[in-house]
Each structure stands twice: as structure tokens, then as C-alpha cells.
């Protein structure tokens, strides 16, 4: 993890992961896939552009998840091709 832990940031990330799992469960059996995309440490205003990844690199996981086929995963969180445990 880059930088120091932040209670508001960590709490909001946990809540986002939980709601991702909840919506995936609610929409099971439909064509809708609900996943989380972790872009990694992207250089943005939020971190003073100290991130190691470009916005384009960070966006790749979201684009991949947005274009999943019917057999794709749901209720998971991914960074690139890696499924993250939370």
C-alpha cells in the first residue's frame, strides 16, 4: 500500500467492496455482472501525481470488466488480471 493508511479511505473502500458483493448476489441469475476495479497507484490530483501508473494503465481493468462475456466473473474485485482478496 502506498502512503499511510487513512481510516476514511480504508472504510470507504471496504464499503465499496461489500456493496459490490451485495449487488452481485442480488443480480445473480441475470446478465448483469457486478465487479470492482482496482486501478492501482495511478498518478492523479488525489496523490499529487505520485502514482506509478498512468490513467490509461489504471483504466485498463475497468474496460476489461465492462466488456466481459456472459461467462465472466461477478462479485469480485480485480487489479489488472488478478482477483483481489478483501
Segments of 1-86 assigned E as strands: 36-37, 77-79, 82-84
Q: How far apart are CA 64 and CA 48, in angstroms?
A: 27
Q: Which residue has the cell 492523479?
A: 44
Where does residue 48 fall: left (phi above 0), alpha (psi -120 to 50 degrees), or beta otherwise? left
Q: Exposed, middle or buried by CB within 10 Å (0-12, 13-18, 19+), for 34?
A: buried
**For 31, which DSSP code?**
S
pLDDT value at position 2?
56
Identified catalytic residue from 2, 3, 7, 9 = 9
Using one digit for the tens of pLDDT, what is the confidence trace for 25-82?
A: 999 999 999 999 999 999 999 899 999 999 999 999 999 999 999 999 999 999 999 9
Instruction: Output the pTM of the full model.
Output: 0.82
Residue 9 bears catalytic tag: yes
Amino acid at each position: 500500500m502506498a502512503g499511510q493508511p487513512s481510516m476514511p479511505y480504508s472504510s470507504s473502500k471496504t464499503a465499496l467492496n461489500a456493496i459490490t458483493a451485495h449487488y452481485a448476489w442480488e443480480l445473480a441469475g441475470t446478465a448483469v455482472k457486478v465487479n470492482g476495479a482496482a486501478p492501482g497507484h495511478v498518478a492523479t490530483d488525489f496523490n499529487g501525481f505520485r502514482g506509478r501508473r498512468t490513467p490509461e494503465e489504471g483504466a485498463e481493468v475497468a474496460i476489461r470488466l465492462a466488456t466481459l462475456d456472459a461467462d465472466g466473473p461477478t462479485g469480485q474485485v480485480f487489479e489488472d488480471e488478478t482477483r483481489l482478496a478483501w
